[in-house]
Each structure stands twice: as structure tokens, then as C-alpha cells.
Structure 1
Amino acid sequence: MSFISLKGLVQNSKLLSGILTPAAKIYANAAAYRQIGLRYDDLLAEESEIVQEAISRLEKAEPREAYDRAYRIRVAQQCSLTQSVLPKAQWVTPEADKRYLQPYIDEVAAEFAERDAFDNIKVAPRH
């Protein structure tokens, strides 16, 4: 099954990239998650099996990154309780807001898809 990836389409088109990249930056700043110390991957819903497995692999491969993630989430919870934001010096910069969990999510999603495809193989009987 082949389909057109919207991400690839936007990245390969100078026009679409030129329009959507500034809009994405404006949206990320308006979302204000960086002002409470979070990075983008900290916002992913942990209820998903794929994300849970990716976090588990992150903890095994990079324990410091997993610790930092837990710390950022706790700081953000404290900001939420006090209804405040961090001092500007502690905000996450766009340069520091890198996708640290995405490689693990991609790996786990591919494994789940492969497992699902293998589990659903239809074997035709020989005649």
C-alpha cells in the first residue's frame, strides 16, 4: 500500500515549506509548552502501546534522557499547579526542542506493523 506522505510533500516543496514552517513556529510558541520547560516529545500521550514501548527503550538506551524527561514533566506539573511559567532563562529554546523519542517510536511502530502483518498472513491450502 503506497500513499503520499504529507510530511515529505511539505519538506520537498519550497512553497509549502516556506508557508508552513513560519506558521508551525508561531503555533509552537503559542502552545507555550516550552515556557513550562517541556519539549515536544514530552507531550505525547503515554497511553499508546507504541509510546510506552518507546519510553521503555529510551530508559534502557539513554537513562539520562529518560530522567531529564521525567524531571521536565514534574516541573511542568508544578507550573500547572501554581499557574505560572518558568523564568525566561529556563524556557526550552527551539534549538533544544529536538525529537528525542521519535526514533524509538518509529522503530516500535515498524515492529508492530511487521508483527501485525505476520499475524494476519493468509495461507492458501494446496490442492
Structure 2
Amino acid sequence: MPVAPSLYNAAVKRPWLMRMLKPLASWYANAAGYRQMGLRADDLIVEENETVLKALGRLSPKESYDRVYRIRRATQLSLQHKLLPKSEWTKPEEDIAYLSPILEQMAIESKEKAALDTLTVLKKH
């Protein structure tokens, strides 16, 4: 599965760009509303992809349980048309990527496997 393009690497190399984009990124994350339901950004990754399902299988049991709990709680809140109390919202420092690094690693592994599968050996005479 291709990983979504990101400006992060370009922004990190240019501090002025990072300073300019950080407030915009924070505003967008808060406006998206997933934190008000106790979710993390990686909880929003759709599970209908074989690669994502394999990545979910690589999660630790605790992280997997926590993900299911957050998603079920958010679903219940959505059905009730409610938000969590502000004290229970996901804080920006808690909104860390836990699935994206696994997906990136799987993409690297897939490229490496493809390179090895198409490897040709030349004999020197």
C-alpha cells in the first residue's frame, strides 16, 4: 500500500517552513474533531486494505486493544451525538503515530522483496 505523501520531511529540513506550518497543522488536527472523541490520527486509517490488516497484526496486544477501545468509544459517542468531556480529549502530545511507522516499514519490506524477486545473477566467464 502506498503511504500518503507528506510534507513533514521537507518541513523538518527548513525550520522557517516548520514554524509556518506547525500552527496550521495544529489547527487542522483540532478542527478535524477526532481528538474530541478520544481518537488518534492513526485510528482513522481504513482497515479495508490487506496491508493495513497485516500491519494491525503486528501491533502489540495492548496497542491493539487500546485501538479497538478508542474506536468503539468513538462509535458510541457518534451514535449518541456527543463528544467526550474536554478533560478526556486526546492531547496533541498523546496523538502519536503507532500504525503509520509499521505501514512505512512494510512498504520498505515490499520494495526490498520486489527487488530481490527480480534480481538477476550474471555469470562471469
Q: Same fold (TM over 0.5)?
A: yes
What is the aligned length? Answer: 120
Q: Deviations over 1:53-98 (max 9, x none)?
A: 111010xxx2111101000000011111111111111111111111
Matching residue of 1:73: 71
The one-letter code matched in structure 2 to 1:24 is A
Distance, in Å, in 2 between the alignment partners of 1:72 and 1:57 is: 18
Identity of aligned residues (%): 47
Name the Cα RMSD after superposition: 2.1
Matching residue of 1:39: 40
**Cα distance, 1:18 vs. partner?**
0.9
The one-letter code matched in structure 1 to 2:72 is R
**Cα distance, 1:105 vs. partner?**
1.5
Matching residue of 1:9: 10
The 1:105/1:124 distance shift into structure 2, 3 A limit, reads same
Matching residue of 2:57: 56
Distance, in Å, in 2 between the alignment partners of 1:26 and 1:54 is: 29
Q: Deviations over 1:13-61 (max 9, x none)?
A: 0111111111000000000100011001101111223221111010xxx
Unaligned runs of 5+ residues in structure 1 are none
Matching residue of 1:22: 23
The one-letter code matched in structure 1 to 2:94 is A
Unaligned runs of 5+ residues in structure 2 are 1-5
Distance, in Å, in 1 between the alignment partners of 2:113 and 2:53 is: 17
**Cα distance, 1:121 vs. partner?**
4.1
TM-score (norm 1): 0.83
Q: Does 1:115 find its partner at 2:113?
A: yes
Matching residue of 1:93: 91
Matching residue of 1:104: 102
Ranked by relative contact order (alpha carbons within 8 Å, sequence separation 6 or more), the top structure is: 2
The one-letter code matched in structure 2 to 1:105 is L
**Cα distance, 1:124 vs. partner?**
7.6
